[in-house]
Amino acid sequence: MKGQPGTVVNLVTEASHVVNTQLVPANLTDEHHKNDGTFHGAISMRFRKTVVVAAVDSEGNLTVTLDGAPVPFEAMRKQDGLTLKVSQYLPYYGQVADVSTPAFRFFLHAVQPYSTSAGWSRGHLDFSATMMAGVSAHGLLGQTVPREGSVCPDHFDFAGEGTEEDYVVSDLQAVNFEYNKYAGQPVGTSRRLHMADVIYQPLASPLNAVCRGFY
């Protein structure tokens, strides 16, 4: 699934969590970068009734809101079990939004435009997600995470019900996808996943997840 620009896809649905991503066009074409790919443009994370939205514009500027209110850089917010930290600069990552709950941690950072032989890329979001032990989740990330074994493959395929397209939803807060009740076993060990840029993964973000290790 390459994903269509503007499409919103469910990454995680769990009893208290909804995480969706809105895709934006990669707009790069050469022998390595395909113009039909997509990036993460905005990601919404809802925990209970608290909603965090992180978005990056085409110039690579990160904006973060908490229940619709802007959150400035170098601020920390705690609300109903959710902790949000927003940083102007962290070494290597740049602008960062770090969101944690008892079940998940999402570490998001803005990727600045960069030059390629095809021209300049657009700014976008990249992130890693940690799913704590004992959590049973649905959605593309929730279903794709390895649930057994101690070795994470470099690449692993979609393992959910239906097809990837069945996880497209109507907006950043929606859960109206085809298969939204996870019936599998909880993950036994906390896992850390990195959702790869489609620029490097021709099959497309967010479906071609790359497991960078586990805790």
| Distance between start and end Cα atoms, the chain | 29
Per-residue pLDDT at 27: 66
Q: Is the pLDDT assigned to residue 110 strictly greater than 90?
A: yes
Per-residue pLDDT at 204: 34
In the three-class reduction of DSSP (H, G, I as helix; E, B as strand; rest coil), residue 203 is classed as: coil
DSSP for residue 138: B
191-208 confidence digits (pLDDT tens): 554 443 332 332 233 333
SS (H, E, C) 105-139: EEEEEEECCCEECCEECCCEEEEEEEECCCCCCEH
Q: Where are the alpha helices (DSSP H) in the chain?
A: 139-144
Cα 163 from Cα 94, distance rounded (Å): 35
CA 97 to the chain's CA centroid: 12
Q: Is the pLDDT assigned to residue 211 strictly greater than 50?
A: no
Q: Is the pLDDT assigned to residue 158 strictly greater than 50?
A: yes
79-105 confidence digits (pLDDT tens): 999 999 999 999 989 999 999 999 889
Whether the Cβ atoms of residue 83 and residue 58 lie closer than 8 Å to each other? no
Q: Which amino acid is at 89?
A: Y
Our CA angle for 96, 17, 57, nearest 5°, is 35
Q: Which residue has the higher pLDDT, 134 or 1?
A: 134
In the three-class reduction of DSSP (H, G, I as helix; E, B as strand; rest coil), residue 141 is classed as: helix
Q: Is the alpha carbon torsion for 85, 90, 93, 94 positive or negative?
A: positive
Contacts of 81 (CB under 8 A, 6+ apart): 47, 48, 101, 102
Whether the Cβ atoms of residue 71 and residue 78 lie closer than 8 Å to each other? no
Q: Is the pLDDT assigned to residue 48 strictly greater than 50?
A: yes
Per-residue pLDDT at 151: 37
Per-residue pLDDT at 201: 32
Q: Where are the alpha helices (DSSP H) in 112-205?
A: 139-144
